[in-house]
Structure 1
Amino acid sequence: MAKKTLSEMSFLDHLEELRWLLVRSTIAVVILAIAIFFVADFIFDQIVFGPTRVDFVTYRFFCDASHYLGFADTICIEELPFTIQNTSMEGQVNVFVWMCITAGFILGFPYILYEIWRFISPALYEHERKYAKVFIFSASVLFFTGVLFGYFVIVPMSVNFLASFSISDVVKNDIDLGSYISMVKTSVLAGGIFFEMPVIIYLLTKIGLVSPTFLQNTRKYAVIIVLIISAIVTPPDVVSQITVAVPMLLIYEISILISKIVYKNQLKEQNG
C-alpha cells in the first residue's frame, strides 16, 4: 500500500506515525542499553565515578592553568572529602539500569533525530528535505558537545564545590548514590539539550514563534541567568565561572545569529 501524503493524513494518522516514532526510538535505546551492559564496569569505574577522583582530567587541567596564570595552587584539587554510599536495598540495581538507559539514549540520539526528521519531513518543502543530513549531523554534534561540556565541566565543578562545602565540621559528607547519579545525569543531559539551542531557535524562527528582535531584547536576562548558573555550579573563583559562562553565552549569541539568517531568508522569500 502506498504511503499517504501529508494532505491525506488525518489526525489519527499523525498520532500513529508519532507512536511508531516512539516505539522505534525506544527499541533503539533499549538495544544500546543492553550493549552498554557488557562494558558497564568501564562505564561506572572510569566515566561515571571519574569526577570523584582528584586525578580527573578536569581537576588536573585547572591545576595546570592555575600554575600558568600565577595563582600557585589556589584552584588545585588535593582532596574531595566525601564518600558515596548506597542506602536502599535496590539502589544499585536501579542505578545500573537507569545509567544503561541514559547511556543508550545518548548514543542513540542521532537515530532519534533521524526518526524526528522522518516525522516532520512531510510538512517541509522539497528543497528543505534535502537538508536532512545537515540537520542530523549538526544537531548530533551540538548534543554530543553539550554532553561533553556537562561531563567535563559542570559535573566536576559541581562535585568539587558540593563535596567541599560544609556548614560545620560536625557534618560529614556521605553522599547517597542516587543523589550523585542524579546530579551526573542531569548535568550531562542538560548540557546536551542546552547546546541544542541553535537548532531549536532555527525551528522556532522558521515557524514564527521566535524572532531575532525577541532574542536580542532578552539577551540581558539570558546573561544574568547564565552568570547565576555558573556561580551556583562552580567554586567561588573567576576562572571556573568564566569557563562555564563563556560557552553558554556563545551558544546564545550563535542562536541569535541563526535566527537573523532565517528571518532574513524568510523576508526575501516573501518579497520575492
Structure 2
Amino acid sequence: MSDLPRTQAEFENQSYLSHLVELRRRLVRSAVAVIIAFIGLVYWAPLIFRLLARPLMQNFPEGGKLIVTDVTGSFFVPMKVTMLVAFLIALPFVLYEIWAFIAPGLYRSEKSWVGPLIGMSYALFLCGMAFAYFLVFPTIFRVMAHYNAPLGAEMTTDIDKFLGFAMTMFVAFGVTFEVPIVVVMLVHAGVVSVAKLRQIRPYVIVGAFVIAAAVTPPDVLSQLILAVPLILLYEAGLIAARLMTASAPRDTPAHFDME
C-alpha cells in the first residue's frame, strides 16, 4: 500500500510528459508548415507587398508616394508581409494540429461542434481581413488624403509604418469577425446566458464605439465602419448561440466511451 501513491504519482508524471512531447511535436509540425509556405512565396515577396499597398497607392493624391526611412526596410518589410501570408496559408494545418491535440480530452458531443467551430473561426478571420482590405483601407486612405489637402501637405508614408497600420487593421477586423464564435463559446460553456447577453446589449454598443475609436483613425466614418459590424456580429452570435445550445446534450468524455 505504501507504493501506491508513488506509483500513481509516477503515472501522472509520465502522462504529463507525454502530453508535453505531443504538444512539442505538433508545434514543430505547425512551424514547419509555415516555413514551407514562406519558402514557396518568398520569390514573390515584392509583388505581395505591392498587393498589400494597392489600396493606399490607388488613393494617394498627386505626388504622394511610399518611402523607406530604414536602411533594411526595403528588404525586411516585404519579408514580414510574406511571412504573414504564409502563416495564413498554413493556418488550416496549424488549427488541425491544435484540434488533434485537444480532441482526445473532449466530450463526444463537444467533438461534433468544436471542429466546425474552429473552421468557422478561420473563415471569419479571413472575412474580417478581406473586409478591411477591400472596404476599410480605401475609405480610410481616401479620408486621410482629404485631410492633407487643405494643409498643403505632401502625403508620404514609410513602408514600415504602413505595415504596422495595416496589421493593426487586419487584427482588429479579424478579431471583430470572431465575435459570434466568442458568444457561442461563452454560452455553451455556461459562463453567461443568452438572456444576460441580451440584457447587456446597450453596454456592448457603447463598447463597440469605444473599441472603434481606439483602433481606427479619428474620423467618424472609420469608427462606424468598425463599430457597426461589431454590433451586427454580436447579434449574429446571440442568434447562433440560441440555435446551437438550446438542446446541447451532456455526454461522457470521449476517452471513457467503450463503444
Scaled to the shorter chain, the TM-score interval is 0.7 to 0.9
- The code of the aligned residue for 1:86 comes to V
Q: From 39, 43, 48, give the equivalent of 1:38.
A: 43
- Provide the rounded CA distance (Å) in 1 between the counterparts of 2:226 and 2:62: 21
Structure 1 residue runs without a partner (length 5+): 1-6, 55-76
Partner of 1:110: 92
- Provide the rounded CA distance (Å) in 1 between the counterparts of 2:148 and 2:60: 17
> Which structure has the greater CA radius of gyration?
2
- Provide the rounded CA distance (Å) in 2 between the counterparts of 1:106 and 1:120: 21
Q: From 211, 233, 250, give the equivalent of 2:216.
A: 233
- The code of the aligned residue for 2:216 comes to V
Structure 1 residue 50 corresponds to structure 2 residue 32: no
Structure 1 residue 222 corresponds to structure 2 residue 226: no
Could you say if the C-alpha distance between residues 187 and 9 of structure 1 is closer, same or farther in structure 2, counting changes exceeding 3 Å?
Answer: farther
Please say if residues 125 and 177 of structure 2, whose CA atoms lie closer than 8 Å, have aligned partners that are also in contact: yes
**Over residues 74-105 of structure 1, what are the superposed CA-to-partner deviations in whole Å (9 max), with x where a residue is unaligned?**
xxx68376422111111122212211111011
SS of corresponding position for 1:175: strand
Partner of 1:65: none
SS of corresponding position for 2:246: helix
**Equivalences for 1:72-87 in 2 at 5 Å?**
79=61, 82-87=64-69
SS of corresponding position for 1:154: helix
- Provide the rounded CA distance (Å) in 1 between the counterparts of 2:25 and 2:62: 46
Runs of 4 or more consecutive aligned structure 1 residues displaced over 6 Å after TM superposition? none
Partner of 1:11: 16
- Provide the rounded CA distance (Å) in 1 between the counterparts of 2:13 and 2:237: 35
Structure 1 residue 23 corresponds to structure 2 residue 28: yes
- Provide the rounded CA distance (Å) in 2 between the counterparts of 1:11 and 1:80: 62
- Cα shift at 1:235: 8.3
Structure 2 residue runs without a partner (length 5+): 1-11, 252-259
RMSD value over aligned CA atoms? 3.3
Q: From 142, 151, 157, give the equivalent of 1:160.
A: 142
Could you say if the C-alpha distance between residues 127 and 99 of structure 1 is closer, same or farther in structure 2, counting changes exceeding 3 Å?
Answer: same
